[in-house]
Amino acid sequence: MSHFTYRKRVLHAEDVPLPAIAEAAGTPVYVYSATALREHFQAVSGAFGEHPHLVCYAVKANSTLAVLRLLAEQGSGFDIVSGGELARVKAAGGAPGKTVFAGVGKTPEEMAQALAAGILFFNVESPEELELLDAVARAQGKRAPFALRVNPNVDARTHRYIATGLKTSKFGVPFEEAHALYARARKMKGLEAVGLDCHIGSQITLTSPFKAALTKMGALYKELQAQGHALRYLDVGGGLGITYTEETPPSAEEYARTLLGAVGKLGATIVFEPGRSIVGNAGVLLTRVLFRKKTPARQFVVVDAGMNDLMRPALYEAHHGFKPLVQRRGKEVEVDVVGPVCESTDVLARQRALVLPQQGELFAFMSAGAYGMSMASNYNSRPRPAEVLVDGGAWRVVRERERVEDLWRGEHP
């Protein structure tokens, strides 16, 4: 996280001291580095050189409009999984024609909206979805461009909740059924097969799963072309991991070499869908210490951010670095950092060695740009955090903190 560094013992985002943001914007608050977002996007896109490719940023990782607009300005396309995400892309100035629509449960209304908007293609995940998409397209007098998401049954060697390429996964269609489904789709007047898709999981830190999956997908792509399917896109999904603690994921260059080594000679435009690798280490969550609490078994530090603000530790047992905004010297003790939410799973950092935090002291949960705010909720009737974007020495609030009155907007007692 090169754009979140200590200067004279004070943690900065680019050129802005984070304590200044915390005091002005309040806590909890998400803070993103615009420079990091640009650099991470350009690193991934640039790694493919002159080979035809399209980066479709995975909106689910962080769907904040300011983030989407910044990436659209860099030339990014978008990977969406709902009609709401399509609406966000359009509101941020993103191009529907550079957008792919994935997900196992698209509604007829979402399909119609995406087709009318002119998206690049749909990633179709079941035979019944093929039939519905055909009907929706014919009702508009159009042919819906699609790629079939095929499950290659490859173990991504990641957390079981974010592995998507196994036979037991709800995602995609079985590899063995792909030929028959493309043949079936050819007879549907509302469909146009333009590509082939797979996605095996998230937070992948090895190149071998990518290579195994894409070797199979490359062979299938050639077979389908030989059968007369005019495919031109190979969607290889996303999933490239980042460093949270000691992980050593492949660099963007290693990732690109692996992909192109497996499928680079097909003549296809490579579509890939990074999310975490662009935004994960471009954001932090600032929080303030409320209380210290010692029991016979534990030393707890209670902060004002909870699992509703940062769900990943409760959902995935995920690790986020926890750093003071102002470094202090002193003896370290082992603490559990917990939030105010009334759940035993509201533990944001376990068994961390820290100089005992003081009441009111400010800290940052590191590597929080991906699946932080996008998963935030109002559980326990807690307003969601504000969001801030830093660019050089300037910063601005890009999402206002929710008010308590917002919690019941639309309700009728």
Q: Are 94 and 59 in contact (CB under 8 A)?
A: no
- On whether 273 is known to bind a ligand per the annotation, the reply is yes
Distance CA 303, CA 338 (A): 6
- On whether 276 is known to bind a ligand per the annotation, the reply is yes
CA distances from 29 to 92, 321, 405 (A): 21, 16, 19
- On whether 340 is known to bind a ligand per the annotation, the reply is no
Q: Are 155 and 167 in contact (CB under 8 A)?
A: no
Tokens of 175: 């590899």
- On whether 357 is known to bind a ligand per the annotation, the reply is no
Biggest distance spanned by C-alpha atoms of the chain: 72
Distance CA 102, CA 359 (A): 45
Tokens of 204: 């992948």
Q: For residue 56, indicate whether it is catalytic.
A: no
- On whether 312 is known to bind a ligand per the annotation, the reply is yes
Distance CA 28, CA 288 (A): 7
Point out the catalytic residue in the list 230, 342, 353, 404: 342
Distance CA 208, CA 204 (A): 10
- Asked if the peptide bond before residue 28 counts as cis, ω within 30 degrees of 0, the response is yes
Of 231, 157, 238, 228, nearest in space to 192 by CA: 231
- On whether 371 is known to bind a ligand per the annotation, the reply is yes
Residues 6+ apart with CB under 8 A from 305: 27, 28, 285, 287, 339, 348, 365, 385
To 10 degrees, the CA torsion angle through 253, 153, 370, 161? -150
∠ CA 38-39-44, rounded to 5°: 105
- On whether 402 is known to bind a ligand per the annotation, the reply is no
> Which residues make up each annotated binding site?
239, 273-276, 312, 316, 343, 371
Residues taking part in catalysis:
342
> Which residues make up each annotated binding site for pyridoxal 5'-phosphate?
239, 273-276, 371
